[in-house]
Chains A and B, each alone.
Chain A
């Protein structure tokens, strides 16, 4: 009995995915209301007309409306909802003016709790695709004070590394891939051009419904040059009107607040407003050797407070448009606007300390989004997106001072900066347009075509050096990624094959000496072009409802980023000669669901992966060794495994552990023209965590202080095995980054489903945590959060 339910739901789910359709004019319609035995409307029930396989979900009033086409005759309405018995209602179609059906569902004999656990949500449906994907159900984290970066950090295979506290520079690593090898998307739109005001670690988790993490092979629909994986943040589904607001306050004078409002009218008009703000002084303690400002002598192991690390950002995302219309499932015009301010406390290493250098950025990004299922032809789904960022970045380093960690400084009376005298201000003028088409020829055959087009045209100036820019023009890039895929779905297996065409063109200027006489200078425009073809395959097979395996392969590329080509003119020098990276990725994974009785459920997941990558784009120092510059260096292989086990008892208790081990090895046998084997050939890549994991537990007490009120307590532990800063095989007196264990605790009280109080303590035991070249992260912190859902 038990196993039948998931099967039914999978079936319905997959049918819905393929055949979801909306009322069309001039056709027979059937409508009605679905309620429970207490006469309360059921929101989200599935109504299917058999054998037409047309389906729709009920709205908040339990109302549904469905156009049938022209087919007259006898049909069956099949109505299902989790936790309720299925209901079949025979209907006759043919005459106009159908009277609405009133359908009453009865609660099934199972407890709702249990059904929820074994039933497959959208989260699970995505997980069951052939791609190796992790889905984070962000709604479960909405009562925490996490940002998206830290929410991802709790996922197997992922390490988010930061240079400090709130708003600090973030470095993302996914199964050994890092930096720009992993691409980020919001609702399927590449986040490449969002600027510093809109980063994963300053977006609250409440903005997301769920987050899909693709490891290795990335579906065609996310049309970008993701070499090692992709993270897709799904925000709103525009199902119903909603308003909630939250505010939190915590250690280091950290304030965060967020308002999320969505209005959806019956006519399909929708308006959405997301506004959020982060503010932190980040004045946590660090232990450093403090240098005397005059003599250079070090006072070792001083505990000092960070004094120049304030960060704040404010962002508003507004969308207006229509949903569920005959011509558009979603047609939205929007604008993202915001600003950020960041003080820079340290350089790449903690020894270099600053006291005045800061950066500002803003974002002003209009966007257009269009989604339509059954566009022109039945089974043809289309998605179009476009946005353009007018945002600006500014680097302010105009005080000629030298600080130490006590906050003391020496000041020089001539012009200069702490790092490099600069008031550089620029706009990247980036634009993105994406289009994707999915066509379902029949239930078994699906075709996808997607195209992503990026533009970049940097314009900037430095008030302190107004002439410098004219020599740099032009700096323009266009990038286009075209993907074509085919998917085959059988009852218990599915396969996808795909190919991607990568294209990039860079226009820039180079100085040269036209006459050969000294002092003569001229600039000529140069153009670089790349064009590559990648391809891949993904397979999955269900042995039964509870056991699935997945396998995939891809040859992929990642094109050089515009900042890597043209520099940020602050710390990164451009390298116009960068070539794309390439990688062969292999993945093999298995999932198993195990049910003990009706109350205990266990899910086991294990994925093995192998990467063979070359022409890695890595930072090195430039000729004069004042800035970093990206270069194509070496090749690496990575053989690893990540696994996760999760246990759930009714809706009360849940616990999980995930672990990732990756064997990232240097595969460059001969360095720099040498014929002898490199001393670090096959050595482990240094300064990368290679064994890490998370454990979490939560328990929910029901009906605390009143019926329906919940009290839940949660615990999370992060573990990172020690690793070496430099090559493991070299030297006998070495630097390492020690083992790290951080434990977090939170408690949430939910009152009448709409008011939540959360108290959270991170890093309970105040352990020293390090990241990015042993920069220190915050110690113990406390945060309180209040969240109210208006409707």
Chain B
């Protein structure tokens, strides 16, 4: 809280500012009077970023119910430093990572204390990374080059127990991509498959005014690494789709059988124009194999009547929520239509009860939404012209109901923590 001015300085200035009426409406609401919440309950953590011209990081809000009511950032929530932050929950700890424009930044770790209050455990410094995901008891982070002159990706292993880095190394992404024109591999995300780390990548020119463009828009590649040694074992290749995942977006999920399903939006660009000729589709890598299953191809564009899949949320038992969009305009736009996808039967059913797509301004990134423990409901953050809401998707019925309203911000992530003993 802001300290009051020293009295005598106040006097001096008061004397001079004969005319100033100094309002003090800036002192934000009262600090929490300490929770009297004897029954320790799990809490949902909702991070919301105010949509405002002065960029600001998300506020962390806590609630125990996503199905109804409203919550606000006004005078409420933990303010975070920086402009962009990203989150991952692992081992019942919530990690908030600063995206520091290529510079190192502080990662703040939170847990829920016995009174169900959010408690900051520690800060540590991390590089700004473009991919991070839980692998075993670690969080694996990768900083990826977009500059052909220094074609290296750096990986870091964060021990979630101590919140310290325990290992690091580098990958020559030009050698990995192995392209005639020298394009670099750019990992879209990280997925643990069995005891391996799968890194789907797209190739980028990383130069010449077309940094994220490619001359290879019609191929899918996944680099397979051992863990924790991070030694390259193989690269899995497929020509039936464009690349898996998108920039800063997971496109690979593993089901209960250990089979990995790969989602391609088919949004590769060359000189700013979309150049993939393959359909947006889902492919599969069967457990124990290191190749795409050539018998499996789920053409999303055919199943959806021309829409493409920008993102997904894996639910369980072969079900996923797909986030789709009708018209392809850029490699970065997020979808505005939800569908329940049955990966086993290759069917797609549009979710009813959602706001009409044209009114949707943003849907929370797939991996940042929350799937209920019983896998029956998926909580998805949606911002429309009329505000931000958490939609409760009933997976079995493919229907959505509007739940908690989040006032004053776009929902960037929904997480859940259990209180520690």
Q: State the A residues within 8 Å of B (CB).
A: 289, 291-292, 294-298, 347-349, 351-352, 400, 402, 404, 412, 414-417, 419-421, 464-465, 467-468, 471-472, 511-513, 516, 518-521, 606, 608, 616, 618, 620-621, 623-628, 633-634, 641, 643-645, 657-659, 661, 663, 666, 668, 671-676, 678-680, 684-687, 691, 693, 695, 719, 721-736, 738-739, 741
Return the 5 tightest CB-CB contacts between A and B, nearest first: A679-B408, A634-B53, A291-B125, A352-B103, A633-B53
The answer to whether the Cβ of B227 comes within 8 Å of any Cβ in the partner chain is no
Question: In the complex, what residues of B have CB within 8 A of residue A412's CB?
Answer: 152, 154, 170
Q: Chain B residues near A627 (CB, 8 Å)?
A: 101
Residue pair B28, A728 in contact (C-beta under 8 Å) = yes
A730: chain B residues at CB < 8 Å are: 28, 50, 56, 59, 73-75, 77, 79, 408
Shortest distance between the CB of A333 and any CB in chain B (Å)? 41
Kindly identify which residue among B20, B53, B75, B102 contacts A661, using a CB–CB cutoff of 8 Å: B20
A348 to B105, CA, bound (A): 11
* B376: interface (CB < 8 Å): no
**What residues of B have a CB within 8 angstroms of the CB of A628 in the complex?**
101
Contact call A731/B105, Cβ cutoff below 8 A: no
Q: Pick the contact of A420: B122, B147, B163 (CB < 8 A).
A: B147
Q: Which residues of A contact B165 (CB under 8 A)?
A: 294-296
Please state if B103 and A618 are interface contacts (CB–CB under 8 Å).
Answer: no
Asked if B329 CB lies within 8 Å of chain A CBs, one says: no
For this complex, 21 residue pairs linking A to B, each with C-beta atoms less than 8 Å apart, are A296-B164, A349-B105, A351-B104, A351-B125, A402-B127, A414-B172, A416-B152, A420-B102, A421-B150, A465-B149, A468-B207, A511-B272, A518-B275, A608-B19, A628-B101, A661-B17, A663-B23, A679-B408, A693-B17, A730-B408, A733-B79
A729 to B407: give the CA distance in the assembly, Å. 13
**Closest beta carbon of chain A to B385's beta carbon, Å:** 4
State the CA gap A48–B29 with chains docked (Å): 68
Interface centre among A518, A618, A693 (most CB of B within 10 A): A518
**In the bound complex, do residue A722 and residue B75 qualify as a contact, i.e. CB atoms below 8 Å apart?**
no
Q: Bound state CA distance, A265 and B194, in angstroms?
A: 90
**Contact across chains for A679 and B72 when beta carbons are under 8 A apart:** yes
Contacts of B273 in A (CB 8 A): 512-513, 516
Minimum C-beta distance from A344 to chain B (A): 11
- A interface footprint on B380-392 (CB within 8 Å = 1, 0 otherwise): 0001111100000
Quote the shortest CB–CB distance from A113 to chain B (angstroms): 25
Q: Roughly how many angstroms separate A374 CA and B29 CA in the complex, as a whole number?
A: 65
Sample of 6 further A-B pairs with CB below 8 A, known A521-B210, A730-B59:
A298-B122, A419-B102, A512-B273, A624-B146, A634-B52, A674-B384
Q: A513-B273, A634-B52 are in contact. Are A675 and B16 (CB under 8 A)?
A: no
Chain A residues with CB under 8 Å of B164's CB are 292, 295-297
- Residues of A contacting B150 with CB < 8 Å? 400, 414-417, 421
| B81 interface contact, C-beta 8 A | yes
Per a CB cutoff under 8 Å, which of B75, B211, B215 touches A732? Answer: B75
Taking a contact as CB atoms closer than 8 A, the residue among A421, A519, A676 that contacts B270 in the complex is A519
Given A352-B104, A661-B20: A512 in contact with B271 (beta carbons within 8 A) = yes
Contact of B125 among A296, A465, A732 (CB under 8 A): A296
- Chain B residues whose CB sits within 8 angstroms of the CB of A295 once the complex forms: 124, 164-166
Instruction: Give the contact stretch, choosing among B5-13, B252-260, B305-313.
Output: B5-13
Query: Does chain A have a CB within 8 A of B261?
Result: no
Find A521's partner among B12, B16, B271 (CB 8 Å cutoff). Answer: B271
- Fill in one digit per residue for B76-90: 1 if any A CB lies within 8 Å of its CB, else 0: 111101111000000
Chain B residues whose C-beta falls within 8 Å of the C-beta of A419 in the assembled complex: 102-103
Residues of chain B at the chain A interface (Cβ within 8 Å)? 1-3, 5-6, 9, 12-13, 15-20, 22-23, 26-32, 50-57, 59, 72-79, 81-84, 99-107, 122-127, 146-150, 152, 154, 158, 163-166, 170, 172, 207-212, 215, 217, 247, 270-273, 275, 332, 361, 383-387, 407-409
Say whether B77 contacts A731, CB under 8 Å.
yes
Give B109 Cβ to nearest chain A Cβ, in Å.
11
Which chain B residue has the least Cβ–Cβ distance from A619? B55
- The answer to whether B101 touches A626, judged by C-beta atoms less than 8 angstroms apart, is yes
**Chain A neighbourhood of B149, CB < 8 A:** 415, 421, 464-465
- B332 contacts A623, CB within 8 Å? yes
Residue in A292, A621, A675, A678 whose beta carbon sits within 8 Å of that of B386 in the complex: A675
| Closest chain B residue, CB of each to CB of A462 | B149
Q: Is the CB of B20 within 8 A of A731?
A: no
A420 to chain B, nearest CB (A): 6
Minimum CB–CB distance for B164 against chain A, Å: 4
User: How far, in angstroms, from A515 to B217 measured CA to CA in the complex?
Assistant: 16
Min Cβ gap A546→B in Å is 17
Chain B: CB-nearest residue to A415: B150
Residues of the B chain whose Cβ atoms lie less than 8 Å from the Cβ of A691: 22
What B residues does A645 contact at CB under 8 A?
Answer: 16
Asked, given contacts A643-B17, A678-B52, A736-B2, whether A621 binds B83 with beta carbons under 8 Å apart, the answer is yes
Contact A727 B105 (CB under 8 A): no
CB pair A289 B123 closer than 8 Å: yes
A722 touches B54 (CB 8 A): no
Q: Which residue of B lies closest to A293 (CB)?
A: B125
A621 in contact with B146 (CB, 8 Å): no
A668 and B150 alpha carbons, distance in the complex (Å):
42
Most interface-central of B31, B147, B152 (chain A CB within 10 A):
B147
- Minimum distance in angstroms from A355 CB to a CB of chain B: 13
A296-B125, A465-B207, A468-B209 known; A672-B51 Cβ under 8 A: yes
Docked-complex contact A741 and B102, CB < 8 angstroms: no
With beta carbons under 8 angstroms apart, the residue of B101, B124, B210 that contacts A298 is B124
B382 to chain A, nearest CB (A): 13
Residues of chain A within 8 A of B59, CB atoms compared: 730-731
Residues of A within 8 A of B107 (CB): 296
Complex interface: chain A residues within 8 A of B383 (CB): 674
Given that A732-B77, A736-B2 are known contacts, is A606 also in contact with B18, CB under 8 Å in the complex?
yes
Q: Give which listed residue, B16, B103, B127, B208, contacts A693 with CB less than 8 A.
A: B16
B103 smallest CB distance to A (angstroms): 3
Q: Is the CB of A728 within 8 A of B32?
A: no
Q: Please measure, in the bound complex, the distance between the C-alpha atom of A472 and the C-alpha atom of B17, giving whole angstroms.
A: 52
Contact status B79-A726, CB under 8 Å:
yes
* Complex contacts, A465 vs chain B, CB 8 Å: 148-149, 207
What CA separation (Å) do A298 and B275 show in the bound complex? Answer: 46
- Across-interface contacts of A695 in B (CB, < 8 A): 12, 16
Select one of A471, A643, A729 contacting B209, CB under 8 A: A471
Name the distance in Å between B276's Cβ and chain A's nearest Cβ. Answer: 9
In the bound complex, residues from chain B placing their C-beta under 8 Å from that of A727 are: 50, 52, 54, 56
Cα(A674)–Cα(B359), bound, Å? 9
Chain B residues whose CB sits within 8 angstroms of the CB of A643 once the complex forms: 16-20
Q: How far is the CB of B154 from chain A (nearest CB, A)?
A: 8
B235 to chain A, nearest CB (A): 21
What is the bound-complex CA distance between A624 and B72, given in angstroms?
Answer: 29
Q: Are B53 and A511 in contact (CB under 8 A)?
A: no
Contacts of A516 in B (CB 8 A): 273
Is A519 a contact of B215 with CB atoms below 8 Å? yes
Q: Report B43 CB to chain A, min CB distance, Å.
A: 16
Q: What's the Cα separation between A686 and B54 when bound, in Å? A: 8
Q: Please determine whether A621 and B84 come into contact, CB atoms closer than 8 angstroms.
A: yes
Give the CA-CA distance A416 to B148 in the complex, in Å: 10
Contact check, A521 vs B2: say whether CB atoms are below 8 A apart. no
Which residue from chain B places its CB closest to the CB of A672 in the assembled complex?
Answer: B51
B268 to chain A, nearest CB (A): 9
With both chains docked as a complex, state the minimum distance between the C-beta of A292 and any C-beta of chain B, in angstroms.
Answer: 8
CB distance from A648 to the nearest CB of B (A): 16
Check A512–B272 contact: CB distance below 8 A: yes
Is A618 a contact partner of B53 (Cβ separation < 8 A)? yes
What are the residues of chain A within 8 A of B6 when measuring CB–CB? 741
| Minimal Cβ-Cβ distance residue in A for B181 | A519
The reply to whether A731 and B106 form a contact with Cβ atoms under 8 Å apart is no
Task: Tell me if A625 and B99 are in contact (CB < 8 A).
Answer: yes
Closest to B83 in A: A621
**Is the CB–CB distance between A621 and B55 below 8 Å?**
yes
A680 touches B20 (CB 8 A): no
Looking at the assembled complex, report how far the CB atom of B73 sits from the nearest CB atom of chain A, in whole angstroms: 5
